[in-house]
Structure 1
């Protein structure tokens, strides 16, 4: 027993360390860090930078690592118990601005690099998260708060890191998070400047940062890491995944997209499809990208209040995020289709991975992306999502990819529907009280890929209306259920489970049942 207990404790310690090192840049004694003095509400001395760091129009040759979880350039900032909310119109980078105290527990350390593996890793990371730039890091600055306590709760431990990266022209910031102790105080996370500012408060409901789960959050699909471009040539703050290639197919100017014009409740013009797209027994040669988050085939749809699926209407529709959106002041809506190249290879791989019972080779892909588009009338919001249509002219599939979705009280519909609703899926059925948890779509899935939902959207063979599959279920119940109760309480939940796997079960029905006394 003693041996087993010792082994368990060692494994737990190794697991905690590995989690931090997975996304953290090198830090501590092994990295040759300089350790800041132990003081409450203190700061490092002035740290001369080996290279100029461009930050939204300015360029700085020095920095201060302030103990309460932020960096400043002009002077140290001895801010006590309560951080100020951005914007402050100060030059400040705050990976975790809170009342911290390293006098008894934890270390605050920093290091900068101009050569070596750290620069290579930074170069690789930047080009991965921001594929529209061609970047080579020439300087990296790393500051780490390792298991530092809150004041006055000396028994707490909080670990995070900020990484500044530059090539003397462009600059970027990573904020990396390990274990964050539950705080009993306000916290501010983000950056501020006269030209720009961004706060993670805007990415969470009620402007309350979910600090305990920072280690599993991200805007680039890397758990525990947030990345921002911080030079005027770059994009700046985003809650979403618009620069993350992890689950999104290529989009935007770099992908050669066509951009839809700016209008409230608008639509793209008719888009001729290069090959036809099979969709549950019908074949379409044209499509419309409607600004309010849906695709239709026969005519545009300007409706901003979504209907619930099943609609039982006279239209086929694919709705990655049907809600009242407005791209006039913020964001872009763009689309592109492919018949050759890497996108088809990736689609082929993805479909065969998610649907292993088919042998599939994509011959056509259509990608439509809503990048940081605002809700109407809330122009300060940003919502990012994408829909991908894939076909080999016989079979078809739809992927719905989600970045950060701004909190909203508006009604949203997500899924697909067909003429007469013979085939339909609504994500409402997967959430409590039929209310879609839109804020967490980026971490949800029916295929075990965070932020992606995948559906098969064609009938398997022409001339047949259904793929008929018989399933025999053995169910134990203390109640004497009627046939209607079996349909409602057993078959319906079973059908919902199959829908989560992308299997259309609109016509699941009970053929026969037998009752046996136990």
Structure 2
């Protein structure tokens, strides 16, 4: 009887809270609170006093002995930073910072900011375990940890109850330094002073998350930054812990975790049982409730409660819906240390579906739940990760479900330009801050690094197959294309099946086991070692001894419209971006770019076209003189075939479709990308081998090319 009364009271308590649901990983946030930390005065656009560190901290290639906690979501190391509207990185301010969520925070309205240095054994052990898991750094043992937690903070000009909770964890062994950004709950992106809506905290100039060395090189922007989709950052990760991002930050260029894919296996109705960790010293009791909602309805009602001695407790619910529903009760595990208790939410969906925690969305009928490059289909079906495409009917909830507008760039005047025989490097004029601003919506890409321990969610198995990462959108949330345009680039002649003269390189370029000082750019979508202008693609390997780096080999006719831009560059900002990209995809290489070549096919039509269909794609070559990589970026593909290759003049389809891949010139070393020479090549802009829809990356200096999974199979 007494138990029934308690249970009824719990139901009433949960029914009274806000209907906006939070799913919080109970192990996400490191301990924090007033009994452990310093706290900032409740004001707008403030900073902590200068905090003298107990260690000399290696960061961005320098050493620091102090820092500032800035209210607006930054940790800075030379001076306070009160800027409330975020800007695109790099800032070149000379003031290095870590930005878990740079936005216009106003704790005079709601929330607290807690921060402190930690050397207690339990926190050091936890940090050591986390970093070793994510980075494979078995030689790392944390000697010092700093945490800063923005706890339920509001935005400037707010007329709502929307709050954010996020955290920075900085740890070092005095040689290596790592940072973790933990996102427990993000509901707003923008203060009113930055153009945000007072009721929603959205619109305007949204928040930025990332790293900045304060120099022109050495920075990283987390996908979704300065975009409305940053509100979904708590559902993304690069370390297999949803809501957490981790980086190595002792060197100028950030280091990244190891990546893998995770699959879930359905078995009729599967319900996960998350753990709830309760920590003593200001201990609270974890509470979870079970609510039964009407058919076709799921209601989640989280609650945040503050207990005596500033204990923070996050309460979420277990919700069940009809038809073979299962109710789970979260376990409560007691561990030493402080006092942030979170109860994860578990949702049981209708029969014949699989439930996964953390951003699980169900659709009627044949329900599909997707988490981290994984598509789980209804019971009695097979989970697939290779070349999966989401189609409208039987709608799937997919990772990186984004919609992106076509990049706005300046198109050169349509006239035939006589180009010089040699190409010179453009180092005098800086690279553009942005040439292709892309607007995105919906959820962010979820990535999963290699870990040594599994999370307590659904059953997971690693797959040894070469894995692609399909999405329902042709675009990524970040700026996919490297900067391009007539103000920086050469423009290829407007001739059919042509291109510029041989391009003399400013580097001895290692490609497929040899080095080259020149190559040829073809209007028909490739770079090659010989002047090769064939318009109908052939299956690789070619009988000719010619290397081809081929983002989209097809019959382009830029006489009709469109332009093909190209340049070599050693601009520091571009080299930094290339360095960051390569190190984030190919781990453990400590790569630093010294040369970049960018070729961009902008709004190009097909030979014989009577339509307005055009393609937009890009080739980026990146090298340091010893190692060479290539990126293929696909923004918008609308046609596959010119009319001479059998294509339809109105649609650009049919006949012999385009090919994308790599040809070394050897019969034993080549790679054709999925969909090549079929109509499915159009789907390549919605897939990836590096977790960024529309981007593909390869290492090409050796005779056998590689991707992030290793040597490519022919």
TM-score, structure 2 normalization: 0.38
Is the Cα–Cα contact under 8 Å of residues 72 and 92 in structure 1 kept in the other structure? yes
1:158 and 1:180 in contact (8 A); partners too: yes
1:145 aligns with 2:150: yes
Q: Does 1:437 align with 2:681?
A: no
Equivalent residue in structure 2 for 1:95, among 92, 97, 100: 100
Q: CA deviation at 1:307?
A: 6.0
Residue 182 of structure 2 corresponds to 176
The corresponding residue for 1:426 is: 675
Contact 1:36 1:108 in 2 (8 A): yes
Distance between the aligned counterparts of 1:427 and 1:436, measured in 2?
Answer: 12
Following TM superposition, by how much is the alpha carbon of 1:140 offset from its aligned partner in structure 2, in angstroms? 0.4
2:580 and 2:91 mapped to 1: Cα distance?
25
Tell me what 2:504 maps to: none
More helix by share: 1
Match of 2:67 in 1: 63
The aligned residue for residue 388 of structure 1 is none
SS at match of 1:78: coil
Note the 1:307-318 alignment, pairs <5 A: none
What secondary structure sits across from 2:149 in the alignment? strand
CA contact (8 A) 2:69 2:75 kept: yes
- Sort the Cα spacing of 1:331 and 1:141 in 2 relative to 1 into closer, same or farther, 3 A: closer
Q: Distance in 1 between matches of 2:245 and 2:61?
A: 22
Alignment pair present for 1:409 and 2:635: yes
1:216 deviates by 2.2
Residues 219-278 of structure 1: CA distance to partner in whole angstroms, max 9, x if unpaired?
33432222221113x8515599499324798xxxxxxxxxxxx97693258xxxxxxxxx
Kept in 2: contact 1:112–1:140 (CA 8 A): yes
Offset at residue 100 of structure 1 (A):
0.8
Cα distance in 1 for partners of 2:242, 2:620 equals 23
Q: What per-residue deviation string (whole Å, max 9, x for no partner) do you get for residues 87-144 of structure 1?
A: 2331221111111101121221112211311111111222222225621100000101
Query: C-alpha distance in 2, partners of 1:221/1:129?
Result: 8
Summarize the alignment of residues 4-15 of structure 1 with structure 2, pairs less than 5 Å apart.
6=11, 9=14
Q: Would the aligned equivalents of 2:258 and 2:587 in 1 still touch at CA under 8 Å?
A: no
Aligned length: 343
Partners of 2:134 and 2:598 in 1: CA distance: 30
1:303 aligns with 2:548: yes
Alpha-carbon separation, structure 1, partners of 2:82 and 2:244: 26
Name the structure 1 match of 2:598.
Answer: 377
Question: Does the CA-based 8 Å contact 1:265-1:303 persist in structure 2?
Answer: no
2:78 to 71, 74, 78: 74
Q: Kindly tell me: are residues 102 and 117 of structure 1, through their superposed partners in 2, closer, same or farther at Cα, counting changes over 3 Å? A: same
Give the 3 Å change call, closer, same or farther, for CA 369–70 of structure 1 in structure 2. Answer: closer
Q: How does 1:262-281 map to 2 (within 5 A)?
A: 266-268=511-513
Retained in 2: the 8 A contact 1:331–1:382? no
RMSD across aligned C-alpha pairs, in angstroms? 5.7
Q: Is the 8 A contact 2:145 2:172 kept in 1?
A: yes
Q: Look up the SS of the partner of 2:209 in the other structure.
A: strand
Alignment equivalent of 1:218, drawn from 233, 237, 244: 237
State the partner residue of 2:208.
Answer: 188
Structural mapping, 1:180-259, within 5 Å: 180-183=186-189, 184-186=203-205, 187-194=207-214, 196-200=217-221, 203=223, 208=227, 210-232=229-251, 236=254, 241=259, 244-246=449-451
Distance in 1 between the 2:673 and 2:62 partners? 53
Superposed displacement of residue 304, structure 1 = 2.6
Native 8 Å contact 2:619 2:632 kept in 1: no
Moved more, 10-19 or 49-58: 10-19
- With over 3 angstroms needed to count, the CA separation of the structure-2 counterparts of 1:166 and 1:37, relative to structure 1, is same
Residue deviations 1:6-45, cap 9 Å, x none?
Answer: 279379999967614332222224x722221100111222
Q: Could you tell me which runs of 5 or more consecutive residues in structure 2 were left unpaired when the two chains were aligned.
A: 1-6, 190-202, 261-447, 452-461, 465-506, 515-538, 555-565, 600-617, 623-630, 638-657, 663-671, 694-706
Q: Secondary structure at the match of 1:19?
A: coil
Contact 2:211/2:220 (CA < 8 Å) preserved in 1?
A: yes
Distance of aligned partners of 1:266 and 1:64 in 2 relative to their CA distance in 1, 3 Å threshold: same
Q: 1:407 to 1:159 in 2, by over 3 A?
A: farther
Secondary structure of the structure 1 residue equivalent to 2:548: coil
**Deviation per CA, 1:184-203, whole angstroms, max 9, x where unpaired?**
342232222245532316x4
User: C-alpha deviations, 1:355-407, integer Å up to 9, x for none?
Assistant: xxxxxxxxxxxxx9998899851799799xxxxxxxxxxxxxxxxxxxxx886
1:430 to 1:45, Cα distance in 2 relative to 1, 3 A: farther
Contact 2:550 2:659 (C-alpha < 8 Å) held by counterparts: no
Q: Describe how 1:494-509 pairs up with structure 2 within 5 A.
A: none
Q: Which runs of 5+ in 1 are unaligned?
A: 250-261, 270-293, 310-323, 335-367, 384-404, 417-422, 445-450, 458-518
Q: Which residue does 2:141 correspond to in 1?
A: 136
Aligned with 2:118 (options 113, 116, 124): 113
Flag the 1:132–1:113 CA change in 2: closer, same or farther, 3 A: closer
Partner of 1:337: none
CA drift of 1:175 comes to 1.1
Question: Is the 1:327–1:333 contact (alpha carbons within 8 Å) kept by the matching residues of 2?
Answer: no
How far 1:208 sits from its partner (Å)? 3.7
SS, match of residue 133 in structure 2 = helix
SS in 1 for 2:117: strand
In the TM superposition, what whole-angstrom CA distance separates every residue of 1:401-422 from its partner, at most 9, and x where no partner exists? xxxx886438697899xxxxxx
Looking at structure 1, the residues matched to 153 and 82 of structure 2 have their Cα atoms a distance apart, in angstroms, of 17
Which residue does the alignment assign to 1:25?
30
> Aligned equivalents of 2:17 and 2:661: distance in 1?
41
Distance in structure 1 (CA, Å) of the matches to 2:580 and 2:110: 47
Going from structure 1 to structure 2, the CA distance change for 1:240 and 1:297 (only over 3 Å counts) comes to farther
Whether the aligned pair in 1 keeps the contact of 2:60 and 2:250 (CA below 8 Å) is: yes
Maintained 8 Å contact 1:104/1:154? no
